[in-house]
Structure 1
Amino acid sequence: MILSVQGVRKVFGSQVVLSSLDLDVDEHQVVALIGASGSGKSTLLRCVNLLEEIDDGMIWLDGSHITDPRVNPDKVRQRIGIVFQSYNLFPHMTVLENVILAPVRVHGRSSKEATDAAREWLTRVGLGDKADAYPDRLSGGQQQRVAIVRALINSPRLLLLDEVTSALDPELVGEVLSMIRDLKGEGMTMVLATHEMGFARQVADRVCFLDGGKVLEQGPPEQVFGDPREPRTRQFLSRIIEAGRL
C-alpha cells in the first residue's frame, strides 16, 4: 500500500470539511474521487500533499507517518506530485525553466540532471519541441500537460490530480485525459478528483464518492456507477445523468 489516510479531520472555522475520512491506495492503482462541490475532494488532496495541516488523524506514505509534525514537508513532496486545475506556470519562464525550477531550487538536483529529465518527459508527452517556448504560446491543454510534467519530474510515488481538466475548453480536454490514461498504462499510482464521470469510469480502478467530508461509498467503477448502494450516491449520479455528464 502506498497511501493510507486514517481518520483525517479538517476544519475551516466552523465548517467541517473532512470528517474522520479513511482512504487506502495500493501501488499502481488509480482512485477517482467524485462528489458534489464542497464534498472535500480538493481539501483531501491538499492534505495528502501537506499543503493543508490536518486537525486530527494520520496520513501514511509507503509506511511512513508523513503528518508527524517533525516531518520535513519538502522531503515528502519530492515523493508526491500534485497538479491543480489552474496551470500555475510562470509566464516569464520557458517551459523548460518552469519544469526544472523546483527540482533545482527546492530539491537540490543539479541543473543538468533536472534538464535531462525534463526534456525526456516533455518528449514523452509530445512537447519536446516546446521546451524553449513561453506558456502564452501554448494552448491550455499543452500548458496543463507541462504542469503534469512538472509534477512528474521527481519520479513521484504518488500523483494527485485536482480537477485538471475543469479549466480547459472542451476540445482540449481529450489530450490531457489521454496523457493520464498513458500514465495509468505505465503503472503510475494516482488519486484524481474529477467531474469527468465518463473518464473516471474508464480509467479508475476504484471510485470513491465523497459526501459530508467522508467516503460514503467506494468500489469498482461498474458497481458505483452502475449499481450504487447508498441513496445519496444514487441521487448524485441521477443529477449527473440528467445533466448529460455520464
Structure 2
Amino acid sequence: MLLSCTDVRKVFGDHVVLDDLSLDVAEHEVVALIGASGSGKSTLLRCVNLLAEIDDGTIRLDGEEITDPRINADLVRRKIGLVFQSYNLFPHMTVLDNITLAPTRVHRRAADETRAQAMTWLERLGLADKARTYPDRLSGGQQQRVAIVRALVNSPRLLLLDEVTSALDPELVGEVLTMIRDLKSEGMTMVLATHEMGFAKQVADRVAFLHAGKVLEQGPPEQVLGDPTEPRTRQFLSRIIEAGRL
C-alpha cells in the first residue's frame, strides 16, 4: 500500500475528531472521502500531511511510518501534495513565484529546474501566459488550478485534495474537475474530500463514507453511492439527493 492509516486517533479538547480510523490507499488509486461536515475528512488529510499531529495510531507512506516523532516532516511533505479549498496563494507574488516558493526555499531544489517544471505544468493547463500575473487577476478556477500545480511541482507520490471545488462558482467547477480527471488518467494517487457526489462517482476507484471520525462504509462508487449498506450512509445520501447534489 502507498498509504496506510491504522487506528488513527485525533482529539481536540474533549472532541474526538478521528476515532481509531483506518484506511489504506493503493498506488494509482483515487479514494473519495465523503461525509457530513465535522466527520473528520479534512482533519484526516491534515494528519496525513503532518500539519496536525495524531494522538494515537500510525500513518505509513511507502511502508515508512511518517508519524514517528523522529521523522523529518519536510522530507515527507516533498512526497505529498495538499490542496486546500481556499487557494492560499500569496497575493503579493506572481503565479510562477507562488508555485516555486516552497520547492526552492524549503526543499532547496534548483530554481531553474523548478521554474522549468512549473512552466511545463502551466503550459499543459493553458495558463502559461498567466505566469507573471498576480492571483487577484485570475478567476477562481484559474487560482485553484494554480494551487494544484503548486502541489504537483515536487512530483509527489500522493496528492490530497480538500474540497477543492467548494469555493468556486458553479461554472468554474468543471475546469478543476477536468484537471483532476486528467491526473487520474496519468496514474496519480489521490485522496480527495468532496461534496461533489457526481464527480466522486465518475473519478473515484473507491468511496469512503466517514461518520463520527470513523470509516463507516467503503467500496466502489456504484455500491456506496448507489446501494449503501449502512443506515447512516443512506441517511447522508438521501439529504444529498434532496439537495440535488447526486
TM-score > 0.5, shorter chain as reference: yes
Letter in 2 for 1:9: R
Aligned pair 1:203/2:200, yes or no? no
Distance 1:132 1:109 in 2: 21
Runs of 4+ in 1 over 2 A off after TM superposition: none
Residue 189 of structure 1 aligns with which residue? 189
Residue 26 of structure 1 aligns with which residue? 26
Q: Secondary structure at the match of 2:43?
A: helix
Q: Secondary structure at the match of 1:233?
A: helix
Distance 1:36 1:77 in 2: 27
* Structure 1 length-normalised TM: 0.99
Q: Secondary structure at the match of 1:92?
A: coil
Report how far residue 124 of structure 1 moved.
Answer: 1.2
Residue 240 of structure 1 aligns with which residue? 240
Residue 151 of structure 2 aligns with which residue? 151
Distance 2:103 2:151 in 1: 10
Q: Secondary structure at the match of 2:81?
A: strand
Distance 1:50 1:208 in 2: 21
Moved more, 122-131 or 31-40: 122-131
Aligned residues: 246
Report how far residue 125 of structure 1 moved.
Answer: 1.6
Report how far residue 110 of structure 1 moved.
Answer: 1.0
Q: Secondary structure at the match of 1:208?
A: strand
Aligned pair 1:42/2:42, yes or no? yes
Letter in 1 for 2:146: V
Residue 53 of structure 1 aligns with which residue? 53
Distance 1:116 1:169 in 2: 31
Report how far residue 7 of structure 1 moved.
Answer: 0.3
Distance 1:29 1:94 in 2: 33
Report how far residue 39 of structure 1 moved.
Answer: 0.1
Residue 180 of structure 2 aligns with which residue? 180
Distance 1:37 1:72 in 2: 31
Letter in 2 for 1:55: D
Report how far residue 132 of structure 1 moved.
Answer: 0.8
1:108-123 alignment runs, 5 A limit:
108-123=108-123
Letter in 1 for 2:220: P
Aligned Cα RMSD in Å? 0.4
Q: Secondary structure at the match of 1:226?
A: coil
* Structure 2 length-normalised TM: 0.99
Report how far residue 129 of structure 1 moved.
Answer: 1.1
Report how far residue 63 of structure 1 moved.
Answer: 0.6
Q: Deviations over 1:172-207 (max 9, x none)?
A: 000000000000000000000000000000000000
Letter in 2 for 1:69: P
Q: Secondary structure at the match of 1:36?
A: coil
Which segments of 5 or more consecutive residues in structure 2 lack a partner in the other structure?
none
Q: Secondary structure at the match of 1:60?
A: strand
Q: Secondary structure at the match of 1:207?
A: strand
Distance 2:201 2:98 in 1: 32
Distance 1:220 1:52 in 2: 29
Aligned pair 1:170/2:170, yes or no? yes
Which segments of 5 or more consecutive residues in structure 1 lack a partner in the other structure?
none
Aligned pair 1:127/2:127, yes or no? yes
Aligned pair 1:97/2:121, yes or no? no
Report how far residue 128 of structure 1 moved.
Answer: 1.1
